[in-house]
Structure 1
Amino acid sequence: MPPPSLAPFIIKRPWLLNMLKPVAQLYANAAGYRQLGLRADDLISEENETVLQALKRLPPKQSYDRIFRIRRAVQLSLSHKLLPKNEWTKPEEDVPYLGPLVEQLENEIKEREALDTLEVVKKH
């Protein structure tokens, strides 16, 4: 179970969102994954069964692109190099592609569990 998120609280308050957005951009740039050509969803651990199922649901092009980005980042990391600045992942390219699928799968699992534990009550 993921930890509770402050995102809904922050999104409902535009003044707070405007104040924290530059900090979030600084943090994303400081994390360093964009300098390796990765997206934020490339960092999601594949050890979870739900994530593995979400990866199977990715379209072939997205799946190929993800594998390419990860392999290139590993190679760059091993050689202690960064991509040229023009090849870094731009903030507008860093959109979630795996997170929504994981969330959809988690909702499906919850729904399946709710239906499996459903009790039928007969009225006389």
Structure 2
Amino acid sequence: MSATKWGVQVLSKVKPARSVNINWEVGKHRNQLELIQEDAGKLERNLQKINYTASEYCKVGLLHHDQLKESDPVVQEARKRMTDEEVQARYFRVNRALLMSANHQILPQDEWTPMDADHNYLQEHLNDARNEMKEKKLMKCATLDFEDRQDRLLSIPFRFMNYIEISRMRQKLKAQLVAPQLA
């Protein structure tokens, strides 16, 4: 008698997939987690895996940049610059995570977010927003165009840290504003 004669299929046992792969691919995505390094040994990879799974956000399908603080003005500006596809993907991940959290569940292990995924998908937008905000502050300090005394006082640490850049910007502005002498 064969097992198929009676309609019963005999399946070979399938090894369960690892919840988090420690054989990550370096360079698979541009914005991988900082901990993913090609020269990491097996022990280091296992420790990173333990740390990653202990953070719990991979178990509900979230990425690292899904958890950034919304109150940060840099993050707000970066979120405005996201494409529609990125926004929709983020909404899906966050809503799924909220549903899983409300039901006190986690995703099946084969659906957990892998370590070598594109976790830092907002990095370029964040860098652009930071640079733009710094440039605005530099221009404000170079032209001494403060809104009030409080704004002027709060910018003192920034002015000390960026004194050289502010003085260079003042020189450039002075050179542009001074009319060239006619012969």
Please give the TM-score of this superposition, normalised by the length of structure 2.
0.53
Residue 119 of structure 1 pairs with residue 170 of structure 2: yes
- Tell me what 2:101 maps to: 77
Task: Within 5 Å, give how 1:78-117 maps onto structure 2.
Answer: 78-116=102-140, 117=142
Name the CA distance, whole Å, in 2 between partners of 1:71 and 1:60. Answer: 16
Aligned-residue offset at 1:93? 1.7
Q: Could you report, residue by residue, the CA deviation over 1:14-64 in whole angstroms, capped at 9, with x for unpaired residues?
A: 8xx736952333211210111100011111111112111111111100111
Task: Within 5 Å, give how 1:23-42 maps onto structure 2.
Answer: 23-42=47-66
> Comparing 84-93 with 94-103, which one deviates more in the overlay?
94-103
Q: Which runs of 5+ in 1 are unaligned?
A: 1-6
- Tell me what 2:83 maps to: 59
Q: Secondary structure at the match of 2:170?
A: coil
CA shift in 2, pair 1:71/1:91, >3 Å: same
The one-letter code of the counterpart of 1:119 is: R
Please give the TM-score of this superposition, normalised by the length of structure 1.
0.75
Aligned-residue offset at 1:85? 1.4
Q: Which runs of 5+ in 2 are unaligned?
A: 1-33, 143-168
User: Does 1 or 2 have the higher relative contact order (CA < 8 Å, sep 6+)?
Assistant: 1
User: How large is the RMSD of aligned CA atoms in angstroms?
Assistant: 2.9
- Alignment size in residue pairs: 113
